[in-house]
Structure 1
Amino acid sequence: MGLIMRTIVWKDENSVGVKELDQQHKEVIIFLNHMFEIFEGQLNPDLLNELLIKLDQYAKNHFATEEGLLEKYKYHDKEAHIREHNIYRNKIITLRQELDSNDKRAIEDTLEFLADWWMGHIQGCDKEYTRYLNNCGVF
């Protein structure tokens, strides 16, 4: 079984306690799982690049929502959180460039990175603001 067979399952403990952000996170997971299904039988770098563009647009919207809340409620670690988003953005640019090589490993590495980054970010960096935003009345 390759990395592409991976399925991400949303669990209640992944919740960041903010309904809008949880919904966006769930939608990202659905999109990632859809990407894994698409690449189950074929490794098409052009298609993956097209899907990365869509995911990138979704990520931009999500990051804007999240960063807007952190700014509005003066979250103390906002800058570090934004740096994490910027690391993701830069990595996606690099991965898209590597996809031009039509290398199966580059495609699998891209899919693995996406799954690991999103789940690690949600369960780590995003969970850190949960109590703070909830204490500010954001649910």
Structure 2
Amino acid sequence: MVWKDSLSVGIELIDSEHKELIRAVNELFDACMHGKGRAKISETVTFVEDYTVKHFGDEEKLQKEYKYPDYPAHHQLHQTFVNDLKSYKAQLEKDGPTVQLVAKFNTFVSTWLIKHISVEDKKIGVYIRSIEKK
């Protein structure tokens, strides 16, 4: 995954946190390319789980502060991601770091992040910037 300016939501804190999430996912991709994905997945799942607590908290705080009208729906998207992440973690604990799990997790987290940032989080940036211009 490559950070592009087109992914920027225009809020420095949120953009920097998105870059950090993408960096962690890229480390897992890189490990996979070197045959070490199974050894790296547990660390990555734990990092993403921990970091999304911070990131979603920061993002939702901004939404509340600016009275973002789609906050309830956005919060639900975050909760769904957290629940899906817990399922991956449970599967990892149950079955261990299988090649299939690593591949499924890579696809899940990279697809979700890009779609969520480029669609949902962009809406937040547009909304906040429109409020700040007033």
* TM-score, scaled relative to structure 2: 0.90
Gap regions ≥5 residues in structure 2: none
- Give the match's secondary structure for 2:132: coil
Gap runs ≥5 in structure 1: 1-7
* Corresponding residue number in structure 2 for 1:83: 76
Q: Counterparts in 2 of 1:3-18, with a 5 A limit?
A: 8-18=1-11
Answer yes or no: is the 8 Å Cα contact 2:14–2:59 preserved in 1.
yes
Deviating beyond 6 angstroms after TM superposition, the runs of 4 or more aligned structure 1 residues are none
* Rounded Cα–Cα distance in structure 2 between residues aligned with 1:79 and 1:118: 19
Pair 1:42 & 2:39 matched? no
- Farther-moved stretch of structure 1 (106-115 vs 61-70): 106-115
For residue 137 of structure 1, report the CA deviation from its aligned partner: 2.1
- SS of the residue 1:117 aligns to: helix
How many residues are treated as equivalent by the alignment? 130
Output the CA distance in 2 between the equivalents of 1:101 and 1:27.
28
Match of 1:9, SS? coil
The answer as to 2:115 corresponding to 1:126 is no
CA positional deviation for 1:26 = 1.0
Aligned pairs for 1:103-122 (under 5 A) are: 103-122=98-117
> Aligned-pair distance for 1:20?
1.0
Between the two proteins, what is the percent identity of the paired residues?
Answer: 29
- 1:92 CA drift (Å): 0.5
1:69 counterpart letter in structure 2: L
Matching residue's letter, 2:36: Q
- Deviation of 1:35 after TM superposition, in Å, equals 1.3
Amino acid across the alignment from 2:119? G
- RMSD over aligned CA atoms reads 1.5
More off after superposition, 34-43 vs 84-93 = 34-43
Query: Which one of 88, 91, 114 corresponds to residue 98 of structure 1?
Result: 91
Structure 1 distance, partners of 2:46, 2:8, is 26
**TM-score under structure 1 length normalisation:** 0.87
